[in-house]
Structure 1
Amino acid sequence: MNISDCMTREVRTISLDNSLQSAAQTMGDLDCGFLPVVDGERIVGIVTDRDIAVRGMGRGLEANAGVSEVMSQDVCYCFEDDTAEDVLINMSDIQVRRLPVLDRAKRLVGIVSISDLASNGEASAAGVTLGDIARPSECHSQRL
């Protein structure tokens, strides 16, 4: 199965000039925790609810601060013609639960999540991937 067969095609994006508050409101309206940040048609970052809470509010930024101050600029993504198996392996390796989906011209065409993959015939592989994603990591540890 290719990612184009199971991805979410209707993607809401925000721009670099959006505030943390507007990003949070959009996430609340959509009941999601992840938004691609675009500059025109080009994806330039990802902002998550955790970015807003930890990198934004946790560091004393005001609600009107720009998402560019907290977004991740190293965007991991997959292509719409990638196989579900390859994307699950990639998600496991980089420990993420969702990825922007690009066409070969690198335009955003969708989002794919572990849930999308699990509900489209990849439940067993998605479960293994989720276990790998949740493994302890030095980058995200509360150990002293």
Structure 2
Amino acid sequence: MKVQDLMTKDVSCVQPGDSVMQAAQVMKSRNVGSVPVCEGKKVIGMITDRDITVNAVAAGKGADSKIDACMTREVISCKPDTDAHEAADIMARHQIRRLPVCDASGNLVGICSIGDLATVDIHINEAGDALSQISQPAGQQQLH
């Protein structure tokens, strides 16, 4: 099964110049913990609830501080035709729960979550194994 068959296609994103409050409001309205940061349709980062907490609030920045000051800039993504098994491996390897799906030009076309992978029988407990590896502290992953 391909990621394009599982991914959420209606994805909200924010711009790097938006405030962290705007990002938090998008997360609340969509009931998600992370949002892609885009310039136009190109993904340039991700902002998570943890980024807001650690990189903005704990650093003493206000709700009006800009997303680009606290977002995660390293974007791990996949293509729509990526196999679901490979997506689970990518998530486990990089300890992420959501994977932006970008076309060949780098434009956001969807997002695939660990929950999306868990809804299909991609392999005996493969999504669970990926989640287990994602949840371990960095550097302590077990290899299977």
Q: Same fold (TM over 0.5)?
A: yes
Q: Distance in 1 between matches of 2:106 and 2:137?
A: 32
| Offset at residue 29 of structure 1 (A) | 1.0
CA RMSD of aligned residues (A): 1.4
Report % sequence identity. 36
One-letter amino acid of the structure 1 residue matched with residue 136 of structure 2: R
1:1-144 matches, cutoff 5 A: 1-122=1-122, 124-138=125-139
| Number of equivalences | 139
One-letter amino acid of the structure 2 residue matched with residue 57 of structure 1: V
Shift in CA distance, 27/59, structure 1 to aligned 2, threshold 3 Å: same
Which protein has the bigger helix share?
A: 1
Unaligned ranges ≥5, structure 1: 140-144
| Offset at residue 103 of structure 1 (A) | 1.3
Unaligned ranges ≥5, structure 2: none
SS class of match (1:111): strand
One-letter amino acid of the structure 2 residue matched with residue 130 of structure 1: L
Q: Which structure 1 residue ranges, 4+ long, deviate > 3 Å from structure 2? A: none
TM-score by length of 2: 0.92
One-letter amino acid of the structure 1 residue matched with residue 5 of structure 2: D
Q: Distance in 2 between matches of 1:25 and 1:91?
A: 25
Q: Distance in 1 between matches of 2:23 and 2:136?
A: 29
Q: Distance in 1 between matches of 2:41 and 2:119?
A: 29
- Deviations for 1:43-99, whole angstroms, at most 9, x for unmatched residues? 111000110011100000011000000001111101110100111111111111111
One-letter amino acid of the structure 2 residue matched with residue 92 of structure 1: A
Q: Distance in 2 between matches of 1:52 and 1:135?
A: 21
